[in-house]
Structure 1
Amino acid sequence: MINNIAIVGMQWGDEGKGKIVDLLSKKSNYIVRYQGGNNAGHTIVIDKKKTILHLIPSGILHDKTICIIGDGVVVSPEFLIEEIKNINKSNISIKNRLFLSHNCTIILPYHIFIDRAREKFQGKSSIGTTEKGIGPAYEDQVARRGLRIGDLKYPNYFSKKLKEISIYYNSQLINLYNQEAIDYNFILENILKYKKQILEITTDTSSILINAKKKNKKIIFEGAQGSLLDIHHGTYPYVTSSNTTVSGIFSGTGLGPFKLDYVLGITKAYSTRVGSGPFPTELFNDIGNHFFKKGNEIGSTTGRRRRTGWIDLVLLSQSIQINSVNGLCLTKIDILDELEEIKVCIGYQSIDNKKITNIPCSICDWEKLVPIYKTLSGWKSSTLGINKFQHLPEEAKNFVYFIEKFTKISIDIISTGPDRNHTIILRNIF
């Protein structure tokens, strides 16, 4: 029996995880975010109405689903309260349905200011962060100087430590980045405005999940970003600051590694990434523009144009291995409808024609890669909204079969459009 599912992005994020989490949420009891912060965005379309969530798990749209923001998430209290307000405007209640871990590290204004200052200082060499303060907040966590949600219960301790950290960051802002100092009193007054609302939903979320597991409740672990942005396994240094792979679940929730029954990897039928960093199959031609325009490839968090390219089965295979994926979900297959030919990357060679057998670890090695492509026939007909596999064009089926054969993993779900109903279910997971 499958009770616990991890939904993990296989690329650089933006694979369409939000829709799939929403789709499966109606059969689940709990949805859990376990890493990242409001640098992630999940877009869900139901009856043509679009909802964008950044911190709150996608399952909040189902009134019987309990949503957990786990220990590994870094949280901006101001942003979270604003997102709750927006949810309430849609007549969706969070009462007894949204719980926040007391162990979450808090994102504070100095994190955002230092993030922006660094990106500006580095210029063309910048990582291309969302400038939401995520990286600096994780730095504080690892350096053991961060403030956590549970610390809000102790005003004297909180204010004392906040003042110490403010001095630390102000010295950098003034002396290194030539920026104005941040007013400690302003930060304190601002955070205290949200204290009551935040503490109302704060609890020991690990205990909730452990008890849910004992009762055989159905739990979905909702990943943010994608595996190729993992701090350890991604295209370093152009990565995020958390473990976006399935390993992040265990450190980010308090559940042990044997609690997962199934890992669903989400991949687009092509590739995208936001910000700087390696992208071997990136396109700078009309097809790249086609992916951008028809796929509406604008970041839901940043508003930035996503870079676009062909699907990379080499990197997909690596993500499958790292995450112990049981099945794949292929999204946005309808974006390929108008193409005469479809290319898939099946290998690399170096610029001096040597075959590459290992994924590079250095940014210098990435720059030497030349993708090797397999060209498949396009189908030149609409797949939008198709919900039966047998109704797909033969060429579209061949595309699916090729990915399965190369990766040695079955494609269990195919998304044929943005709406919840635009989905082909090849295996009922729950």
Structure 2
Amino acid sequence: MSISSSASISSSPRTWNGALSRQLCGSHTHPQLSFSANNKQQKTIICSAAAKSGSVVIEQGAADLGSGPSRIGSLSQVSGVLGCQWGDEGKGKLVDILAKQFDIVARCQGGANAGHTIYNSEGKKFALHLVPSGILNEDTLCVIGNGVVVHVPGFFKEVDGLESNGVACDGRILISDRAHLLFDFHQIVDGLREAELAKSFIGTTRRGIGPCYSSKVIRNGIRVSDLRHMDTFAQKLDLLLSDAASRFQGFNYTPDMLKEEVERYKRYAERLEPFIVDTVHFVNDAISQKKKILVEGGQATMLDVDFGTYPFVTSSSPSAGGICTGLGIAPRVLGDLIGVVKAYTTRVGSGPFPTEILGKGGDLLRFAGQEFGTTTGRPRRCGWLDIAALKYCCQINGFSSLNLTKLDVLSDLSEIQLGVSYKQSDGTPVPSFPADLRLLEQLEVEYEVMPGWQTDISSIREYSELPKAARNYVERIEELVGVPIHYIGIGPGRDALIYK
């Protein structure tokens, strides 16, 4: 991509108070923008005088398969769909679409903090949290693996809601006997922990995920298989509750609480029994029988407890490694991994967000993309697509292809920015996504600015029919990241997908 000019702008687009589509690169002289005074970062805008000519550096190879069914049918026996940002990329929709070509859809980590919104063939909306997104495909079996933490009351609420809307669940959902149980008190502790952190709070969903994984790691957790032994269940639960009471003054634990919870879980145990399976054996047996398995990730790589913006992360491993540990399958059986990435970037909760747009610009993206959490309803923070973070995620996961979602949300913009690289304030390049949060808060983002297409693309179904500016944007992302984009989302419905 030829660069016609570059200019250092006094502050970051994160605090831009003007219109999102304001022209930054109309000429070689760049207008001064209005920024909030408290911004401490400087970021560089690299302006392109013209869109790319359309030449694609990436060898497309299998991208020329043509129809969607051909592309989906060519996926590996064990494939996965993982998030490339801070979650909410639209993984559920792709899993729902791909599920028709797979025998099993499996969740491997996270819990009810994973909110996946999908639509059935009639356009009816379903919000899923624990149940895998393959449930709307009647021939698909859904597995909740050992790496997932299971809130049983929430699970049954979700199942009851699906069945009341005509989605059969009996015999179609299996829960690992090794999965850990998430109790209501974990949710209480989650809130107490956040309050304790005060201004340094993580911004969790308060669904008890972190406290439940903490119980697992310090080895006093309770697993699904323990529901088969109610004679020792009360003793184990007493240990958990007593530990929480000793740690948090605001947690009031009484003998009546234990008695009520034990009685409740006796009833749950009976109902849950038909769902409980040794999923490690089941999944590996399915692999040996040549069944096709699709793994659905919750959250995303930038929230990975190891690779994300720690401590502002989730408590599991939503990256590729979490598939093996969360399902008990060998790395050698993993095939195609598809990374899902929005055409821009969002995140919820606290933590660094280098390409964030504050003020009216962020509001415009938020409402255009309906960026409000499926699980919590919280407004998501919005910003430009962060190529540096995306390359980092691709490096960790080894994606074979990408699904670029919500391209249609950018349709009204006269120009679109891509955050292509990072550098320190003295100009020193930052080669990868840094672990140091202080550096993340202080670094500068270099942007490329590309022209928008300013036309509705939601009814387009063939890549060649997209406006040239939209194709240039897609192909520039491919070129910068080095991974082909095989799927392009241009709306929420099942059919609102372009196969490239």
TM-score by length of 2: 0.83
Establish whether residue 344 from structure 1 lines up as the match of residue 418 from structure 2.
yes
1:7 to 81, 100, 111: 81
1:359 paired with 2:433, answer: yes
What is the distance in 2 between the residues matched to 1:39 and 1:79?
11
Letter of the 1:117 counterpart: L
Shift of 1:363: 1.7
Q: Distance in 2 between matches of 1:193 and 1:345?
A: 53
User: How far apart in 2 are the matches of 1:141 and 1:365?
Assistant: 32
Q: Which residue does the alignment assign to 1:111? A: 186
Report the Cα offset of residue 291 of structure 1.
Answer: 1.1
Task: Report deviation, 1:149.
Answer: 0.3
Alpha-carbon distance, 1:243 to partner: 0.3
Match of 1:181 among 243, 253, 258: 253
What does residue 50 of structure 1 align with? 125
Q: CA deviation at 1:285?
A: 3.4
TM-fit CA distance, 1:34: 0.3
Show the counterpart of 2:496: 422
- The aligned counterpart of 1:394 is 468
Give the structure 1 partner of residue 209 of structure 2. Answer: 134
Name stretches of at least 5 consecutive residues in structure 2 with no aligned partner.
1-73
> How many Å apart are 1:362 and its aligned residue?
2.0
Provide the aligned C-alpha RMSD in A: 1.1
SS of the equivalent of 1:280 reads: coil
**For each residue in 1:201-242, what CA deviation from the matched residue of structure 2 results, as whole angstroms up to 9, or x when unmatched?**
001111111111112111100000111000001111100000
SS in 2 for 1:367: helix
Whether the 8 Å contact between 1:236 and 1:362 is mirrored in structure 2 is no
Alignment of 1:28-427 (within 5 A): 28-46=102-120, 47-174=122-249, 178-181=250-253, 183-426=257-500
Superposed CA deviations along residues 277-330 of structure 1, whole A, max 9, x for unmatched, are 010000013331121001000000011000000000000001001001000000
CA distance in 2, matches of 1:138, 1:157: 21
**Distance in 1 of aligned mates of 2:264 and 2:207:** 17
Q: What is the CA deviation profile of residues 221-270 of structure 1, one whole-angstrom value per residue up to 9, with x for unaligned ones? A: 00001110000011111000000001101000011001112000000000
Q: Aligned-pair distance for 1:194? A: 1.1
Deviates more, 1:57-66 or 1:283-292: 283-292
Secondary structure at the counterpart of residue 101 of structure 2: coil
Q: Please give the secondary structure, in 2, of the residue aligned with 1:193.
A: helix
Question: What letter corresponds to residue 327 of structure 1 in structure 2?
Answer: S
**How does the TM-score come out when normalised to structure 1?**
0.96
Indicate if the aligned counterparts of 1:173 and 1:181 stay in contact, CA closer than 8 A.
no
Following superposition, the deviation at residue 172 of structure 1 comes to 1.6
**TM superposition outliers: structure 1 runs of 4+ over 6 Å:** none
CA distance in 1, matches of 2:461, 2:361: 26
Are the counterparts in 1 of residues 82 and 319 from structure 2 also a CA contact under 8 Å?
Answer: yes
Q: Aligned-pair distance for 1:385? A: 2.9
Q: Name the SS of the counterpart of 1:351 in structure 2.
A: coil
Residue 351 of structure 1 aligns with an amino acid whose one-letter code is S
- Alpha-carbon distance in 2 for matches of 1:222, 1:141: 22
Where 1:113 maps in the other structure, the secondary structure is helix
Structure 2 contact 347–380 (Cα < 8 Å) conserved: yes
For structure 1, list consecutive stretches of 5 or more residues without a partner in the other structure: none
Superposed counterparts of 1:19-30, under 5 Å: 19-30=93-104
Give % identity. 38
Larger Rg: 2
Tell me the amino acid that sits aligned with residue 322 of structure 2. G
User: Are the counterparts in 1 of residues 230 and 266 from structure 2 also a CA contact under 8 Å?
Assistant: no
